[in-house]
Structure 1
Amino acid sequence: MHTEDENLQHCRMLIEEKVNWGDSSQWQNQDFETLSERIFAETNVTLSVSTLKRIWGKVRYDSAPTATTLNTLAQFVGFENWREFRKQPVLVHPEPLQSLPPQPVPAPVSRPSNSRWPWVIGALVLLGLIGIWAFQNRVKPLKYGELTFTSRPVTKGLPNTVLFDYDATDSNADSVFIQQSWDPRRRYRVDKDEHQYAGIYFYPGYFRAKLVLNDSIVKEHDLYINSDGWLGTINRDSIPVYFPDNQLHRDGTVAITESDLTKQGIDFQKEVPSTSLHYVQPLGGLSSNDFGFETEVKSTYNRFNAVCQRTGIMLLCSKGMHLIQLSAKGCVSELNLSFAGQGVSGKTSDLSGFGVDFTKWAKVRCEVKDKLAKVFVNDKLAYEGRFQDDAGKIVGLRYYFQGPGAVKSARFSNGSSQTVLQ
């Protein structure tokens, strides 16, 4: 049995291997900001920079990480939750062996030729028992008859609980799972003889729910958690703070202001929080492979650890997402782009075109044709590249900021125009 410290060390090692940023002892504040954004993009849960620094021993703390933090870290490296992660063997690097002086080789001992027969007979008996066990426990082909699988949110807005109704009794499955989205890490085991499972959602989005028998997906359906107009959030490790649509509209923009955050008890000198503006509503079946998108966005805070003003625009899709990041001009090496999961890093690619002066509105235009993406920032081509996978239909928007931020316009097009914000 391994201690929690050993499990946490192993999890950190897997995360460091995944991001491949080199020695974590040399990581700077912006590396933990980028890691927080990547974890949020993949798990839909925000772990703050201070939480991640505590995990990596950059900041002293006396209490253990919360269950939410541990589950999120485990999901980021491909496990369902921390409980499942703990079942994995922890790799311990062995101590180097001390060199020993050469020892004389003992002379061979002669044995009677029949001394090996008990060993041979024992091995044959063991092989026979293994064969019988394997025959009795061989994998049976999955068989099933009439199955049902539906879901329904219990209310409008966020947070929202979704009730999943299922019936998998007419099957020979040993295991039954409900997968709450396209992400297989959000797969939860349910009782085959029961018929209902409830899951809570704290953020809006599109989810492809699946009923899984053993390891086979047998039924699936679309599940929308709408934002009911625009929704603002302070993204926290557990439950976010919500700002409803009618609180966000100011002078033709949607915005989370410094005053909004101060009223929620935010102390900017301690840490500038991650915030988001969400719009998840039907968008007319736009394909993520062929569309146009225009927006004007502004980060409105550049002090303390928000000096880089990193800003993200996420185009949420039914099978993934497209991600565009902006920042102050001097911070572009920390930026990332992603189209249908195909990433581009500012550490290895020239993303200088995504550095902007946020005292003015930043105008971003994205044109995608047959999976060829072009991104213009303030009417200048900043990136052009082709992606391979199909991210599905565009189902919503999410902007995120370091502290306060605002959006002035947002518009999709594909033959006809779909205005999200005038």
Structure 2
Amino acid sequence: MQTVDDKLQRCRTLIEAKVNWGDSSQWQNQDFETLSERILAETGVSLSVSTLKRIWGKVRYQSEPTVTTLNTLARFIGYENWRVFQNQTTGEPTEPAPVLSPEQPGPTPAISPASKYWPWAIALLLLAGLVGIWAFQNRVEPLQYGELAFTSRPVARGLPNTVLFDYDATDSNADSVFIQQSWDPRRRYRVAKDGHQYTSTYYYPGYFRAKLVLNDSIVKEHDVYITTDGWLGTINDDSIPTYFPDRQIRKKDQIALTETDLIAQGVDFQKTIPEVSLQYVQPLGELSASHFVFETELQSTFNRSNAVCQHARIMLLCSNGMHSIPLSVKGCVGQLYLSLADQSVSGKTTDLSGFGVDFSDWVKVRCEVNQKKARIFVNGNLAYTGDFQEDPGKIVGLRYFFHGTGSVKSARFSDGKNETVLR
């Protein structure tokens, strides 16, 4: 019988195959930070680096993973939840038949009178199976539908926020009805065909393209945009984050989360160094993620304990994906990952040394993208040039990640005609 540990090992294997980062025993802290960010981007749930390290056995921990953690890992690899993953991967191993060498052949069994009829019985079973398959395939009717309805609305302002989906798929011959919450097909959930409402609670801001799916066909879609009220700071927790509103994180001429802020919320820096975010998710017009200029000044402000690498990340949220720019101290650039829409680059196999910085002063980053070709400058020096293929849509927000604490001094976008300064 397969245990929870067996299932968790299977889950880890599938995740490792998906990210394709090589032997997980060699993963560093930045690998788990990047995995945490990808899980957040694809599932809308943040799993902390410490939690992921416990899952991979990097940190000792006696308790079982929470239901939220297991459900999120299952969703990341394409399952609705952990229970579905368990049920669909259950299978008891069978005892392998012994192999006899040519030098030691087994005894020749006696042939019973009934054995001469076995070939006919097998042939009849195969024929029956083929007839059954043919009958099943021919009974499946093409998808047909008439008037359908699919809308949604947030029930509150700010975060957290529950989105109420209203749908009507009764005028169809579909066997299965799903609501897919974003561009990512892993966020697809089955709903009752004769039902009319489905809700989902969002704890982080972002842009989601919801879809109504009948069988395997997308028949209706619309945008769900969960915005912030100005700037928002968060301590990224496995389930529900800790929120810092705009007025609390404004510090003179910058947006910042400080040690004082975190300690006031019960963070003990002697025990753990949390991952925090500063984010601004508001409409920025029709700013194309394939043609823009972005400039920012930021600073990672914590460098003790296991945060000595001072990993930071700038994520440009797009309507159909994201761009992600990493930074760290110079000695840790081998752990970095850069993402431009559908293209990802690892510091293990590519020179990303230009993203190694001294955070004792403000770090200036400039990203120029023209016709899906990108150039990224760090403190005035060209750090990377490359391109991407898929259209990430329009830019819909901005998120900074810091290990510990961090600050943002400026952030602005332009497209050659208009400039937007995030204040």
TM-score interval, normalised by the smaller of the two chains: over 0.9
Equivalent position amino acid for 1:135 in 2: A
Distance 1:395 1:78 in 2: 25
Alignment partner, residue 67 of structure 1: 67
Distance change (3 Å), C-alpha of 1:96 and 1:173: closer
1:106: how far off?
A: 5.3
1:237: how far off?
A: 0.3
Q: Which aligned pairs between 1:256-335 and structure 2 lie closer than 5 A? A: 256-335=257-336
Contact 1:6–1:90, Cα closer than 8 Å, also in 2? no
Alignment partner, residue 224 of structure 2: 223
The alignment partner of 1:86 has SS state of: helix
Write out per-residue CA displacement over residues 82-116 of structure 1, whole angstroms, 9 at most, x where no aligned residue.
1222133368999999876633465696788x974
TM-score of the pair, normalised by structure 2 = 0.92
1:30: how far off?
A: 4.0
Alignment partner, residue 33 of structure 2: 33
Distance change (3 Å), C-alpha of 1:296 and 1:131: same
Distance 1:55 1:95 in 2: 30
Contact 1:411–1:417, Cα closer than 8 Å, also in 2? no
Contact 2:28–2:335, Cα closer than 8 Å, also in 1? no
Q: Which aligned pairs between 1:137-152 and structure 2 lie closer than 5 A? A: 138-152=139-153
Write out per-residue CA displacement over residues 45-85 of structure 1, whole angstroms, 9 at most, x where no aligned residue.
22222212221223332221101111121222232221222
Q: State which drifts further: 239-248 or 87-96.
A: 87-96
Alignment partner, residue 57 of structure 2: 57
Alignment partner, residue 2 of structure 2: 2
Write out per-residue CA displacement over residues 7-32 of structure 1, whole angstroms, 9 at most, x where no aligned residue.
01111122233334444344444443
Distance 1:139 1:158 in 2: 44
Alignment partner, residue 42 of structure 2: 42
Alignment partner, residue 407 of structure 1: 408
Equivalent position amino acid for 2:63 in 1: S
Write out per-residue CA displacement over residues 175-222 of structure 1, whole angstroms, 9 at most, x where no aligned residue.
101111111111111111111111100011111010000110000001
Q: Determine if the alignment matches structure 1 residue 171 to structure 2 residue 172.
A: yes
Q: State which drifts further: 307-316 or 72-81.
A: 72-81
Distance 1:121 1:95 in 2: 26
The alignment partner of 2:79 has SS state of: coil
The alignment partner of 2:418 has SS state of: strand
Distance 2:246 2:260 in 1: 16
Q: State which drifts further: 19-28 or 307-316.
A: 19-28
The alignment partner of 1:58 has SS state of: coil
TM-score of the pair, normalised by structure 1 = 0.93
Distance 1:179 1:63 in 2: 33
Contact 2:44–2:202, Cα closer than 8 Å, also in 1? no
Q: State which drifts further: 331-340 or 33-42.
A: 33-42
Alignment partner, residue 12 of structure 2: 12
Q: Which aligned pairs between 1:35-184 and structure 2 lie closer than 5 A? A: 35-89=35-89, 102-104=103-105, 116-117=116-117, 119-120=119-120, 123-124=123-124, 127-128=127-128, 130-132=130-132, 134-136=134-136, 138-184=139-185
Superposition RMSD in Å: 2.5
Contact 2:376–2:384, Cα closer than 8 Å, also in 1? yes
Contact 1:283–1:418, Cα closer than 8 Å, also in 2? no
Equivalent position amino acid for 1:280 in 2: V
Alignment partner, residue 235 of structure 1: 236
Distance 2:98 2:117 in 1: 38
Distance change (3 Å), C-alpha of 1:268 and 1:150: same
Q: Determine if the alignment matches structure 1 residue 24 to structure 2 residue 6.
A: no
The alignment partner of 2:47 has SS state of: coil
Contact 2:77–2:186, Cα closer than 8 Å, also in 1? no
Distance 1:154 1:389 in 2: 33
Distance change (3 Å), C-alpha of 1:29 and 1:205: closer
Q: State which drifts further: 259-268 or 35-44.
A: 35-44
Write out per-residue CA displacement over residues 139-190 of structure 1, whole angstroms, 9 at most, x where no aligned residue.
2110000000000000100000000000000000011011111111111111
The alignment partner of 1:123 has SS state of: helix
1:319: how far off?
A: 0.5
Distance change (3 Å), C-alpha of 1:313 and 1:146: same
Distance 1:60 1:92 in 2: 29
Write out per-residue CA displacement over residues 335-389 of structure 1, whole angstroms, 9 at most, x where no aligned residue.
1111112101111111111111111111111111110000011111111011111
Distance change (3 Å), C-alpha of 1:83 and 1:418: farther
Q: Determine if the alignment matches structure 1 residue 358 to structure 2 residue 359.
A: yes
The alignment partner of 2:345 has SS state of: strand
Distance 2:23 2:93 in 1: 17
Q: State which drifts further: 100-109 or 298-307.
A: 100-109
Equivalent position amino acid for 1:372 in 2: K
Consecutive unaligned residues of structure 1, counting only runs of 5 or more, are none
Consecutive unaligned residues of structure 2, counting only runs of 5 or more, are none
The alignment partner of 1:255 has SS state of: strand
Alignment partner, residue 209 of structure 1: 210
Distance 1:92 1:19 in 2: 27
Pairs aligned (count): 421
Equivalent position amino acid for 2:11 in 1: C
Distance 1:107 1:94 in 2: 25
% identity of equivalent residues: 68
Distance 1:33 1:226 in 2: 24
